[in-house]
Amino acid sequence: MITILGPTATGKTALAARLAADLNGEVISADSRQVYRGMNIGTGKDYDDYIVKGTQVPYHLIDIVDPGYEYNIFEYQKDFLSAYRDIISRNRLPVLCGGSGMYLESVLKGYQLSKPDDDGEFISSLEKLPDDRLVEILKSYRTPHNTTDLEERPRLLKAILMARSSENPTISEKQEGPLTDSASNQTFPMIESMIFGIDYPRGLVKTRILKRLEYRLEHGMIREVEQLLATGLSPDRLMKYGLEYKFVTLYLTGRISRANLLNELNIAIRQFAKRQMTWFRRMERQGLKITWIDGRLPLDRKVEMISRSVSN
């Protein structure tokens, strides 16, 4: 498998789709929000990127559940495995693509998870809490086995999730390994993946984020949120689906002005991109090799570099 990761607004989808087109592959999304139907502009689905030289590149795990449903990491791992097995059964190459760190790690490191209850809502609630409160929650499940659980926020979130998801209340953070198909209870070998990250200078990422945000606000993102609210989805529930939906909902419900919408959402997305990079750097420290590619290179050049690495 090939994995393409990187922070938001770095062109992951276009690169993954081109690679899949050139290498007889199909894309598997690793985005925690693109699973939802009708949430297109705010989640950056970029359907046009999947049309390469006039041909549709197959993609998986996009538009698979309705808004309001609490999709979770356990389901993602199961759905990923189903898509992966389908792709390789047809002698095609899986190309994993996304920026949701926990979804990526659940596959690349093989989190051992038991089926949880309302995991999506639980994770959303955790992400809003300060570190000291997260430490208290982890200790309520078990005594931490590793002090780094308490020192790094991504590890802290992961430790809580795994402690809660397991039937064994003393599960260790180190419960990683081959993925198991929950339907057949069959265990599969660890999936080997070459991992490539798209890297831009921080200042350029900020510019790309702002430019993309301005475009989306002017081309339907506000209308998209209006339509979701019109379906009966509550503002509080909608705001749990990420920054774009949170801030546009705040605007539509009169809690922030139109001018503040752009400014506050831009700052929040920039902070999110920084957290994504922190997560990816931690993945590297824990042993996952990521080959970083300069995002400023032309798309053809990036595809050429990765294709050459894969062939070698």
pLDDT tier at 260 (50, 70, 90 boundaries)?
Answer: very high
Do 168 and 226 lie in one domain? The reply is no
- pLDDT bucket at 120, cuts 50 / 70 / 90: low
Q: Residues 67-117: pLDDT tens digits?
A: 988 888 889 999 999 999 999 999 999 999 999 999 999 999 988 776 655
| pLDDT category of residue 167 using cuts at 50, 70 and 90 | very low
Q: What is the mean pLDDT of residues 25-44?
A: 97
Taking the C-alpha atoms of residue 127 and residue 168, their distance in angstroms, rounded to an integer, is 24
- 117 part of a folded domain: yes
Alpha carbon distance 65, 38 (integer Å): 10
Measured CA to CA, the distance from residue 19 to residue 42 in angstroms comes to 25
Q: Residues 209, 257: one domain?
A: yes
- What does DSSP assign to residue 22? H
Instruction: Provide the pLDDT confidence category of residue 1 given band limits of 50, 70 and 90.
Output: very high
Assess whether pLDDT exceeds 70 at residue 264.
yes
Residues 216 and 155 in one domain: no
Q: Is the pLDDT of residue 266 over 50?
A: yes
Is residue 147 very low, low, confident or very high in pLDDT (cuts 50, 70, 90)?
low
List the beta bridge partners of residue 36.
65
Compute the distance between CA of residue 115 and CA of residue 141 in angstroms, rounded to an integer: 17
152-158 contacts, C-beta under 8 A, 24 or more apart: 152/282, 154/101, 154/102, 154/278, 154/279, 154/282, 155/282, 156/131, 157/102, 157/123, 157/126, 157/127, 158/102, 158/105, 158/111
pLDDT at position 123: 73
What would the 3-class secondary structure string for 65-83 be?
ECCCCCCCHHHHHHHHHHH
Please tell me whether residues 163 and 118 are part of one structural domain: yes
- Whether 195 is in a domain gets the answer no
Instruction: Kindly report the pTM of this predicted structure.
Output: 0.81
Confidence label for 66 from pLDDT (cuts 50, 70 and 90): very high
Nearest one of 9, 44, 30, 67 to 239, comparing CA atoms: 67
Instruction: Tell whether 147 is covered by a domain.
Output: yes
pLDDT score of 157 more than 90: no
- Out of 158, 175, 192, pick the residue that ends a domain: 175
Contact 242, 43 (CB under 8 A): yes
Buried b / exposed e over 114-133, threshold 16 CB at 10 Å, is: eebeebbebbbebeeeeeee
Q: In the prediction, which pLDDT does 116 show?
A: 54
Q: Provide the domain limits for residue 122.
A: 113-175
In a domain, 122, yes or no: yes
Number of structural domains found in the chain: 2
Q: Please name the residue that has the structure tokens 């607004």.
A: 9
Does residue 118 sit within a domain? yes
Looking at residue 221, which CATH number applies to its domain?
A: 1.10.287.890
